[in-house]
Amino acid sequence: MNIKTISSSPYDDQKPGTSGLRKKVTVFQQPHYLANFVQSIFDSLDNCFGQSLVLGGDGRYYNREAIQIIIKIAAANGFNELIIGQGGLLSTPAASHLIRKNKAYGGLILSASHNAGGPTEDFGIKYNISNGGPASEKYTDAFFKRSLEINAYKMAELDDIDLDTQAEFKIKGLKIRIIDPVTDYAELMATIFDFDLLKESISSQYISLCFDAMHAITGPYAKRILEEMLGAPKGTVINGEPLEDFGGGHPDPNLVHAKELAQLMFSDKAPVFAAASDGDGDRNMVLGANIFVTPSDSLAIMAANAHYIPAYSKGIRGVARSMPTSQAVDRVAKAYNLPCFETPTGWKFFGNLLDADKITLCGEESFGSGSNHVREKDGLWAVLFWLNLIAKRRQSVADIVHEHWQKFGRDIYSRHDYEAVDSEIANDIFNHLRELLPTLTGKNFDEYAINYADEFCYQDPIDNSISEQQGIRIGFKNGSRIVFRLSGTGTVGATLRIYLEKFVKEKTEYQQEPQQALANLIELAEQLSEIKQRTGRLEPTVIT
Ligand code: G1P
Ligand code: ZN
């Protein structure tokens, strides 16, 4: 194989964020930009020679071009097998599964998750290690460091590969497998859930459902699993064709961006169950007739009901949640005597706990949940979990949720995002909050007495690595919390997130509308951070 060495000069902005490197497509299209980053990754890994690599993405604009570039760089760096999803497509959880199943050295996943796609929108790339999970900070710091000094990359002189035909072939010693992106993943799901029960519940119409793939990667996965394997009627999956720009929409499954689905579920035509997934298929939003299940509640309910699911029927080892996720799952863990871990935001922090078998289920408030079956969050897995639960308990989503609140209390929850804030202003807000912290403990704001106020720092219990500055927490004596964090996935300015949580025990309080129930906390959060004065914004960009 002929290998060219191509000179380039470093870019200074290739620091991976919460989930890989995300930038505007136009940034990735700059000369050598993607190639520099990919070579920086390969340079930082121990030895790529003779290894196998999984490659695929969510099909967004620039996916195909990026894959052709990566194939040539991977070949030049000594990989001897590339496993690529047909059409260049792989959902993030499916990629994680393929890495594990094939004992690959790692994988490159091309996605900017729930961010919009298209020529002027976002693109992203992230490296996953051999356990199938996102590379930890130890790796991503090394990638960034290398990217700052790189002055050349290697490329094999190969023609572009036909990505659209399933095939297995060799080019000068390099084995390339273009595989069906769905099959292995669908087989895995069938080993976790009771597919016979689901088929029966769907064919008897006990369960009616609607799944919104938001023109993103989960379309083909949901059609195969829900419609073909489980027998849901054709048309159950809406917006099922992956498009490079997601049909102009924002592939973010929440009440704001999956509005149509939310409207259906709060109408008299609502089916028993509805769900949506994001750009790369790792997020999920779950709805029942007249009810939206917050991701934090969903995790808690999964933990409390895991024994109904075949794969977890013998019990779960423990649970974990990201720090800003509500404490609902902590209450379940306490009641069932399960270990419960609080990690920084981002799935990469769950990897060590899953590998060490300390936890079985984990989740984040940002519409993500998953288990030890892969090392990514998994949207369709969560959907199947809920369907299996409804089929087994023979109860509606609303009944399951209400019973849960009755037993454990409810953590009323909301997140307020201020997007595209000037970075300097955002940093000033955080510095201001940091200065306030030592003065807050013991202070009372009406019914809210501050129990602690700190900046979250995490020490990984497995490798002891320390991650600092992971968000500002203000905890109240009544169990409520306010958390401030800066997003690590945005591509324009800074996104400031305020997470609000109020714990209520009384049945009369369960039915409150979250923004109303949280009104005092919201005001307090705004007062402490001075966010309105400092940004000039009158309200958050997105409320979920
Ligand atoms: C966001 C979410 C986080 C999630 C990540 C990747 O990151 O908040 O929970 O892991 O996307 O999907 P953030 O933008 O907050 O850094
Ligand atoms: Zn995603």
Q: Give the pLDDT confidence of 329-381 residue by residue, as tens digits.
A: 999 999 999 999 999 999 989 999 999 999 999 999 999 999 999 999 999 99
Same domain, 494 and 439: yes
- Confidence (pTM): 0.94
In the prediction, which pLDDT does 492 show?
81
Tell me the per-residue pLDDT of 434-468, one tens digit each, with 9 for 90 and over: 999 999 898 898 889 999 999 999 999 999 999 99
For residues 77 and 192, give the distance between their C-alpha atoms in angstroms, rounded to a whole number: 37
Tell me the per-residue pLDDT of 51-69, one tens digit each, with 9 for 90 and over: 999 999 999 999 999 999 9
Q: Does the pLDDT value for residue 265 go beyond 80?
A: yes
Domain limit, last residue, from 408, 442, 466: 408
Rounded mean pLDDT of 117-140?
A: 95
Domain limit, last residue, from 381, 408, 435: 408
Rounded mean pLDDT of 298-309?
A: 98
Q: Which amino acid is at 73?
A: I
Residue nearest atom 5 of ligand 1, based on CA coordinates: 346
Q: Ligand 1 center to residue 402 CA distance, Å?
A: 28
Residue nearest atom 11 of ligand 1, based on CA coordinates: 489
Q: Does the pLDDT value for residue 311 go beyond 80?
A: yes
**What single-letter DSSP state applies at residue 391?**
H
Tell me the per-residue pLDDT of 67-123, one tens digit each, with 9 for 90 and over: 999 999 999 999 999 999 999 999 999 999 999 999 999 999 999 999 999 999 999
Q: Does the pLDDT value for residue 490 go beyond 80?
A: no
| Residue 17 contacts residue 489 (beta carbons within 8 Å) | yes
Same domain, 158 and 206: no
Find the catalytic residue in 44, 113, 326, 371: 113
Tell me the per-residue pLDDT of 314-326, one tens digit each, with 9 for 90 and over: 999 999 999 999 9
Percent of the chain with pLDDT over 90: 92
Q: Ligand 2 center to residue 116 CA distance, Å?
A: 11
Q: Does the pLDDT value for residue 488 go beyond 90?
A: no
Residue 508: pLDDT band with limits 50, 70, 90: confident
In the prediction, which pLDDT does 489 show?
80
Same domain, 403 and 424: no
Q: Which of 35, 5, 4 is nearest to 14 (CA)?
A: 35
In the prediction, which pLDDT does 256 show?
85
Q: Ligand 2 center to residue 12 CA distance, Å?
A: 25
Which CATH number covers residue 430?
3.30.310.50
* Nearest atom (ligand 1) to Cα of 497: 15
Same domain, 317 and 383: yes
Same domain, 300 and 444: no
In the prediction, which pLDDT does 510 show?
85
Ligand nearest to the CA of 369: 1
Which CATH number covers residue 208?
3.40.120.10
| DSSP strands (E only) in 58-139 | 81-89, 106-110, 122-128
In the prediction, which pLDDT does 291 show?
96
Into how many domains does the chain fold? 3
In the prediction, which pLDDT does 69 show?
98
Q: Does the pLDDT value for residue 491 go beyond 80?
A: no
Q: Which long-range contacts (CB under 8 A, 24 or more apart) does 457-460 make?
A: 458/323, 458/342, 458/343, 458/344, 458/349, 460/349, 460/352
Tell me the per-residue pLDDT of 173-216, one tens digit each, with 9 for 90 and over: 899 999 999 999 999 999 999 999 999 999 999 999 999 999 99
| Interstrand relation of 361-364 and 3-7 (parallel, antiparallel or unpaired) | unpaired
Which of 19, 91, 417, 483 for a ligand 1 pocket mutation test, highest count of atoms within 8 Å of Cβ? 19
Residue 480 annotated to the active site: no
Residue 506: pLDDT band with limits 50, 70, 90: confident
Write the DSSP string, 122-160.
EEEEEEE-TTSSBP-HHHHHHHHHHHTT--EEEEE--PP
In the prediction, which pLDDT does 395 show?
97
Tell me the per-residue pLDDT of 24-45, one tens digit each, with 9 for 90 and over: 999 999 999 999 999 999 999 9
In the prediction, which pLDDT does 233 show?
97
- What range defines the domain where residue 25 resides? 3-181
Averaged confidence pLDDT in the chain: 96
Residue 390: pLDDT band with limits 50, 70, 90: very high
Same domain, 333 and 432: no
Same domain, 237 and 351: yes
Domain limit, last residue, from 154, 181, 208: 181
Same domain, 24 and 81: yes
Ligand nearest to the CA of 368: 1
* Nearest atom (ligand 1) to Cα of 283: 12
Same domain, 354 and 421: no
For residues 259 and 432, give the distance between their C-alpha atoms in angstroms, rounded to a whole number: 36
Q: How many helices (H) and strands (E) does the chain have?
A: 19, 27
Same domain, 363 and 415: no
Strand partners, 58: none
Residue nearest atom 1 of ligand 1, based on CA coordinates: 489
Q: Which of 368, 94, 377 is nearest to 242 (CA)?
A: 94
For residues 362 and 322, give the distance between their C-alpha atoms in angstroms, rounded to a whole number: 8
**Ligand 1 contact, 349 CB (< 6 A):** no
Residue nearest atom 4 of ligand 1, based on CA coordinates: 346
**Ligand 1 contact, 487 CB (< 6 A):** yes
Percent of the chain with pLDDT over 70: 100
Same domain, 386 and 272: yes
Same domain, 376 and 417: no
Q: Please state which of the ranges 287-301, 350-364, 391-405, 506-520 shows the lowest mean pLDDT.
A: 506-520
